[in-house]
Structure 1
């Protein structure tokens, strides 16, 4: 049978009471375009605001800012690939078999590989930010590295699987129907990966909360910082929704139709992770604007590390981003009750004034 004959053969037989429609059937194309457009616009806006804050407001960019750019580019590459196939997200009985004999598998492999890299890169900025702020604490640093290794493994292990199951063997060629039959086997990995995605997003979400909750600062400022990190729960919700559609994709025969919705959840999940990593910078930007309007005098942020004895260590890195003033702490070592000691490094400090807050041992303005 030649390829032209496949144009009238559905990929799967229609269910009872249904007939194949190759002309104008329902599809997920409009939904995919709408979701992609909204998420691209939101991600571009948040990343742009982050970069503006880091490069123009504080003039102190970090590695995580450059990683955000990488995440943005890879996400857009993934979206470009899936949109090229969006018109094929029909019910399987409305998809002619010939569609799997053109460049479908080349584009599909391109999009799937970009998805793996985009997922990995979308988690990197927030983890690098954690290390930059809280990395002096050995246990926290190890927890971050473990998370990085897990994200790397879960994201990039899909590459050899995709290369084996969803690409033709040397003897087959890109137009072989054997690829169509073999690529279904990778759907079992989609379920495993979906469960691991939920675990890792919860891991990333919970990781900084114990440290943030233990910070000694005015309640209003602590709630503001906590709210910034709590936005990471959006990524957890996106992973849970994505898992549901992974399940439907794996255990139903209507692959293309369910894959359209599943791809939408993946687009949301990847871009929400990038957006969440921009929230601290966005918070600092709007706070900066508010403070500029409310007062022309510098605002001093009260930091009150608790030093229970005359030799204590407060582990928050001194090179924390300037756009997170509440967390821009230095490591305080061997600071005594009178404020003396050798623990203040490379930062100008001054004791709290009487009109700002009562003096407590170990309390400083960061100027």
Structure 2
């Protein structure tokens, strides 16, 4: 189908130019969702790289491919944001011809980049699994998936990067007569079939890759903390799979933006948003197991994890009053502490001369050790012989013969 034929088909069934924009087609929705998740995904990648390079000092191929996925995702998201100014979210038929050509260029880039990064993020996850599975059938399974997904990614990436010959004929069809196929929309049926085929196989590989480490739950030596952490990661992965399924549903529903009529800029925003979110979430899911243990350890050192209870016990003197408390008379006037100067059982002096209390001399007494210590309880803590008792030590002989060995 030539581009002129496509425009004629659109003109035969023109959409309402005043039709209200759906929520997904609004600029605020597109900007708000894509930019927010892009920032969070780069934050996750930065923490991952910090841990691998500065903490454990063991970078690998998985880090390279997840970083490459993040770079590709940034390029795709940037193209999406720019395409809003060239007609994304509005009816394709009413876009001026210069803007229409620019939009097709931006869509070509974002579609090719997205198809490439769907393979890159899965390759990164499989390299990450190879760090865990050092031998056995699980390692061979990961290697087999790695080879299969690599071939799958290369095949679809070639179809996306070279949809027409020459390539620039994809977005410059008014001035050129390129030979297009597949994603180049030369034939609507093959265009729809190729989009649905990639989305369906992408969803299938998402499910397989995220379910592969489930075998770890079968280990008997897993602690409860590890089980909870792994469950959280796999639930996050389930969100990625759900996003991929949702994208497949949106493409099938409008037949790759061709039903109920051909309109590439009107029907595609929801699919484009889900494409960006799918990669963002996959990058975060791949990075969380790397940096989260370090963050959790750091948080445990910051926040209090043990409670300390401080209790006190007070003693009463012979009058039934507590030591070290100030008592008042019926007029609520402070008269003295219990241990004021001249009282029996004095512990502290409250005569108003604190210097005297701090510099008094203690003269050793034969009976009590110090003549200034009048409290019998304090005396017994200082001099255990002051109570007049005799200190004895009783040692009971152990009559059980000593064992030569013990388990």
The normalised TM-score by structure 1 is 0.67
Is the alpha carbon distance of 1:93 and 1:240 closer, same or farther for their aligned partners in structure 2, counting shifts above 3 Å? same
2:11 to 7, 10, 13: 13
Aligned counterparts, 1:254-273, within 5 A = 254-273=263-282
Secondary structure, counterpart of 2:10 in structure 1:
coil
Distance 1:15 1:291, change over 3 A: same
Highest Rg: 1 or 2?
2
- 8 Å contact 1:10–1:95 — kept in the other structure? no
Q: Do the aligned residues in 2 keep the contact of 1:65 with 1:125 (CA within 8 Å)? A: yes
Residue 173 (structure 2) pairs with residue 176 (structure 1): yes
Where do 1:1-367 residues align within 5 Å? 12-13=10-11, 19-20=16-17, 27-87=25-85, 88-92=87-91, 94-96=93-95, 98-99=97-98, 102-137=101-136, 139-163=137-161, 166-167=163-164, 169=166, 174-177=171-174, 182=186, 184=188, 185-250=190-255, 252=259, 253=261, 254-293=263-302
Q: Deviations over 1:253-302 (max 9, x none)?
A: 23321211111000011111111001102321222113434799xxxxxx
Contact 1:20 1:93 (C-alpha < 8 Å) held by counterparts: no
- CA gap 1:189/1:215 in 2 versus in 1, 3 angstroms: farther
Greater Cα shift, 279-288 or 171-180? 171-180
Secondary structure of residue in 1 paired with 2:112: helix
- Structure 2 residues not aligned, in runs of 5+: 306-407
Alpha-carbon contact 1:105-1:167 (below 8 Å) kept: no
Q: Distance in 2 between matches of 1:93 and 1:69?
A: 34
CA distance 1:66–1:159, change in 2 (3 Å): closer
Distance 1:211 1:176, change over 3 A: same
How many angstroms apart in 1 are the aligned matches of 2:167 and 2:93?
Answer: 30
Deviates more, 1:183-192 or 1:25-34: 25-34
Number of residues of Structure 1 aligned to a counterpart in Structure 2: 286
Residues 84 and 144 of structure 1: is their aligned pair in 2 closer, same or farther, counting only changes over 3 Å? Answer: same
Determine the structure 2 residue equivalent to 1:357.
none
SS in 1 for 2:164: coil
Give the distance between the partners of 2:147 and 2:78, measured in 1 at CA.
Answer: 28
- What is the CA-CA distance between 1:126 and the residue it aligns to? 1.7
- Note closer, same or farther for the CA distance 1:91–1:12 as it changes in structure 2 (3 Å cut): farther
| Greater relative contact order structure (CA < 8 Å, 6+ sep) | 1
CA contact (8 A) 1:246 1:262 kept: yes
Q: Is the 8 A contact 2:185 2:191 kept in 1?
A: no
Measured after TM superposition, the shift of residue 31 of structure 1 is 2.3
Give how far 1:104 is off: 3.7
